[in-house]
Structure 1
Amino acid sequence: MCTAFVSIEPSSAVPVLLLSVRDEYAGRQWLPPDHHWPGRPSVLGGLDLAAGGTWLAVEPGGPGADPVAACLLNGFGTMAPAQARLSRGELPLTAVRDGGIGHLDLERYDPFHLVVVRPDGARVLSWGGGSPEERELPTGLSVVLNDGLEGLAATRTTSQLVRTLMAARAAHFRARFEAAVRPEPAAGPAEEAWGAWLPIVAGDGLPLDAPEALIQRREFGDGRIWGSSSISLLAFGPDGLRYDFGRAPVTGPADDRWRRIV
């Protein structure tokens, strides 16, 4: 149940914030963000060792070029034909380097939601078969789940349990983020930059198996463990991009919890 929160406040010194939590089976190996793709030397992201792609790609930008990030969440709907299926992990990489994924044959990909974030806003492209849905995110706080933007994609899970868990997570953390002072990250360590949001991002003190847990761990009794593996925090402002990364669950000495990527 990967989840992304996007906060857009045009009047803020840092207008756009992205929080992305990746959930995955514990046995799926990965590497933390770096320049992992020789053919895309400027792109940063965590590397999925199973398929070679990523769940979140970042093009830091530079002189004359704004930063952009693309965050991938699995969706529900019609699966791609096995003989033609391509890895969804290529989608964020393509989105940040090729200006989008509109030129791709989406029928070769399993259902997904792709959150593309830039300094002046964000949009979500959802694909579950049929026609893709694309929406610009409004001012304020939005949440993207495996059921899409605000859980309202055209194709959603048929599992009442999964739907209940996603709704509980979204409701709890929307309220917590909206009640806290919205950060305007600049220089300094993560605790200073992200302020009141950081302890919420780190799990808000909830047990890992709580229904509403943002940072979670669930055992299925057959040796399979599903849970949160990483947290990404991105801030888009006039001075460029800030990108902080932490493994989940977030534990240990303060200086070891978060690594600044950009």
Structure 2
Amino acid sequence: MCTLIVRTGSPLTLLGVRDEFTDRPWEGLGEHWPEHPGVIGGRDLKAGGTWLAVNPAARRAAALLNGHGTPAPDTRKVSRGDLALRAASTGEPPAGDLTCYDPFHLVLADLTGVRLFSWDGERLTATDLPDGTSMVVNSGLDPSSARVMAHLPRFRDADDWWPLLAQEPSERPEALIVRRELPDGRVFGSLSATEVEITPGGVTYELADLTANLDR
């Protein structure tokens, strides 16, 4: 995932936009992981994990974004897709030997607060997200990001976030909805968006398939 917007308060709201190669298979929201009972998310069919996991019973969600830094050695590298699953299931931050993972940002959100865990390939840091609306991108909580500068004010001012996604895909660095065609013909773009709302009374979640926007 490349963009996550978080609004604290009631409801606690997360909206994640997943950018990926269009030929990478995936499926929509469901309880796809017997080893994590009750955890719901969209599933990446190549590696088996997820980019945003919801645990309705625990009033908890976890979202994973790619980060910047030192990649894991190819001989030890494993998919980062289990990180959000384990965080949503247990409520615990990433732990143990993380050197098998490429850099990442993991947002863990529940009714007690929202924390951002960032791994750059060498060091894990933790940050509490401030009250209000924040945007996390691949460079983390980065106010200098072109995407953050272009879109965070819009999300701060809007009650309903879904209409803000209704825009043409673009290659521009500030684009929220992305489409880039590579020299080999593969297309990298915004495949889906998932919104989660958490209150003491329950959790709602919705996934929108954005792939139709990428057809040209």
TM-score by length of 1: 0.76
Match of 2:6 in 1: 6
Q: Closer, same or farther in 2 for the Cα pair 1:120/1:5, shift >3 Å?
A: same
Moved over 6 A (4+): none
Q: What is the alpha-carbon distance in structure 2 between the residues aligned to residue 213 and residue 90 of structure 1? A: 28
Q: What is the alpha-carbon distance in structure 2 between the residues aligned to residue 210 and residue 131 of structure 1? A: 31
Q: What is the alpha-carbon distance in structure 1 between the residues aligned to residue 6 and residue 212 of structure 2? A: 21
Q: What is the alpha-carbon distance in structure 1 between the residues aligned to residue 11 and residue 193 of structure 2? A: 20
Q: Which structure dedicates a bigger proportion of its chain to strand?
A: 2
Match of 1:79 in 2: 71
Query: In the alignment, residue 217 of structure 1 is paired with which amino acid?
Result: R
Matched, 1:39 2:35: yes
**Other structure's SS at 1:107 match:** coil
Question: Which one of 207, 215, 220 corresponds to residue 182 of structure 2?
Answer: 220
Question: Which one of 133, 138, 153 corresponds to residue 175 of structure 1?
Answer: 153
Query: In the alignment, residue 41 of structure 1 is paired with which amino acid?
Result: P
Structure exhibiting the larger radius of gyration computed from Cα positions: 1
Match of 1:233 in 2: 195
Q: What is the alpha-carbon distance in structure 2 between the residues aligned to residue 120 and residue 41 of structure 1? A: 22
Q: What is the alpha-carbon distance in structure 2 between the residues aligned to residue 133 and residue 168 of structure 1? A: 23
Uncovered stretches (5+) of structure 1, i.e. residues with no partner: 153-166, 183-195, 252-262
Match of 1:48 in 2: 44
CA RMSD of aligned residues (A): 1.8
Match of 1:108 in 2: 100
Tell me by how many angstroms 1:216 deviates.
1.6
**Other structure's SS at 2:28 match:** strand
Match of 1:129 in 2: 121
Q: Closer, same or farther in 2 for the Cα pair 1:210/1:109, shift >3 Å?
A: closer
Q: What is the alpha-carbon distance in structure 1 between the residues aligned to residue 78 and residue 171 of structure 2? A: 34
Contact between 1:144 and 1:151, CA under 8 Å: does it hold in 2? no
**Other structure's SS at 2:99 match:** helix
Q: What is the alpha-carbon distance in structure 1 between the residues aligned to residue 95 and residue 148 of structure 2? A: 32
TM-score by length of 2: 0.91
**Other structure's SS at 1:236 match:** strand
Tell me by how many angstroms 1:76 deviates.
1.2
Tell me by how many angstroms 1:249 deviates.
4.9
Task: Work out which structure has the larger RCO, using CA pairs closer than 8 Å and 6 or more positions apart in sequence.
Answer: 2
Tell me by how many angstroms 1:250 deviates.
7.0
Deviations 1:177-204, CA, capped at 9 Å, x for gaps? 1222x3xxxxxxxxxxxxx32211x23x
Report 1:144-223 matches (<5 A): 144-150=136-142, 167-180=145-158, 182=159, 196-200=160-164, 202-203=165-166, 205=167, 207-209=168-170, 211=172, 212-223=174-185
